[in-house]
Amino acid sequence: MAEKKKTIGILTSGGDAPGMNAAIRGVCRKALLNGWRVVGIQRGYSGLLNEEMFEMDKHSVSDIIERGGTILGTARCPEMRTEEGQKQAADICNAHGIDTLCVIGGDGSYRGALALSRRGINAIGLPGTIDLDIACTDYTIGFDTAINTAMEAIDKVRDTSSSHERCSIIEVMGRNAGYIALWCGIANGAEDILLPEKYDYDEQRIVDNIINNRKHGKRHHIIINAEGIGHSTSMARRIEAATGIETRATILGYMQRGGSPTCKDRFYGSVMGAYAADIAAAGKKNRVIAFKHGEVVDFDIEEALAMTKSIPEYQYQISIALSR
């Protein structure tokens, strides 16, 4: 008798990220090549709990690699944080014959995957977030597109800021993490870079910096502020009052999360997606995929979630040194 086909389910969860579609495509096509059945689950864990799923074939992922967002849709799902929600989700996976669930998202989504793994579902996490804040990996799918989108926007704000000899506070995404702010701060040559992990709330230092730069003939002053610090509009009002220099706030917002993925996000999405399908086929259980020291690798999901990471100190020091 022919052996029953194994089934891999794919869902995207948490904030969407450019390159998630490449990852979906990578998992789907490689799993099919490995002889697996593939099920797409819509709207993250919410869709799983509502059994919103469909059979995928290789054509289900045609013409998606260049598209931003996620064709599966995503959602935040509070029920998944509860024991009942997790039990129901595991029961639904079993009822639909899903042996392995591939979760593309950030570390919150990984916690949902861990909960399922503890209830006997093989869970595999793929790092999909623009924030770069997953500890076990040097790279997360979506980060490259987001920083390039933000960088181009910041260049544009800088043009008008220089013309009007204004100070600009530009807020970039990153609820708890300053990686987008750090990268854009360095890449855009910002005068001040405020990271949630490092900011000491010393506004007087920023004011002194602006006044000093103006004395030396600088026509603009760009402050990159991370979303985790926020309050850019009130900060602009206070800085304008203290310096006498017109100061405007620009909040870049969701534009950073959308758009066609860069080559790097398509590449890593594809390779990590295929890798997820391959480790599932090799019988590995409860893993998360990561990019470490130039290689795609995998870690135990529980160990991965216990890891920590922080802003690289040298990069932070350089961001300050070059802005002076």
Q: Is 115 in the site for ligand ADP (CB under 6 A)?
A: yes
Q: Which of 9, 40, 47, 112 binds ligand ADP (CB under 6 A)?
A: 112
- CB atoms near residue 163 (< 10 Å): 10
Q: CA 56, CA 198: separation in Å to the nearest integer?
A: 45
What is the bridge-based pairing of β-strands 287-292 and 295-300? antiparallel
What, of ligand ADP, ligand F6P, none, does residue 115 touch, CB below 5 to 8 Å by kind?
ligand ADP
Q: Which of 9, 73, 174, 261 binds ligand F6P (CB under 6 A)?
A: 174
The site string for ligand F6P over 103-142 (x = CB under 6 A, - otherwise) reads --------------------------xxx-----------
In the complex with ligand ADP, which residue's Cβ is closer, 286 or 323? Answer: 286
What is residue 49's three-state secondary structure?
Answer: helix
Q: Which of 9, 14, 228, 261 binds ligand ADP (CB under 6 A)?
A: 14
Q: Is 198 in the site for ligand F6P (CB under 6 A)?
A: no
Residue 128 is classified by DSSP as B
Please name the residue that has the structure tokens 């160990």.
303
Residues 251-270 close enough to bind ligand F6P by CB under 6 A: 257
Q: CA 158, CA 322: separation in Å to the nearest integer?
A: 17
Catalytic residue IDs: 131
Among candidate residues 124, 142, 120, the one with its CA nearest the CA of residue 133: 142
In the complex with ligand ADP, which residue's Cβ is closer, 68 or 105? Answer: 105
Part in contact with ligand F6P (CB under 6 A); list of ranges 90-98, 167-175, 197-205, 279-287:
167-175
Residues 186-245 close enough to bind ligand ADP by CB under 6 A: none
The site string for ligand F6P over 203-242 (x = CB under 6 A, - otherwise) reads ------------------------x---------------
Using CB under 6 A as the binding criterion, the count of chain residues that bind ligand ADP stands at 17
Q: Is 107 in the site for ligand ADP (CB under 6 A)?
A: yes
Q: Which of 8, 11, 65, 77 binds ligand ADP (CB under 6 A)?
A: 77
Written as six digits, the tokens of 164 are 């009007």
Q: Is 168 in the site for ligand ADP (CB under 6 A)?
A: no
Written as six digits, the tokens of 2 are 């022919």
Written as six digits, the tokens of 92 are 């639904």
Among candidate residues 267, 29, 197, 23, the one with its CA nearest the CA of residue 124: 23
Which strands, in side-by-side order, build the sheet including 295-300? 53-56, 37-41, 7-12, 100-105, 122-127, 287-292, 295-300
What, of ligand F6P, ligand ADP, none, does residue 107 touch, CB below 5 to 8 Å by kind?
ligand ADP
Q: CA 148, CA 146: separation in Å to the nearest integer?
A: 5
Cross-strand partners of 237: none
Residues that bind ligand F6P (CB under 6 A): 14-15, 129-131, 173-175, 227, 257
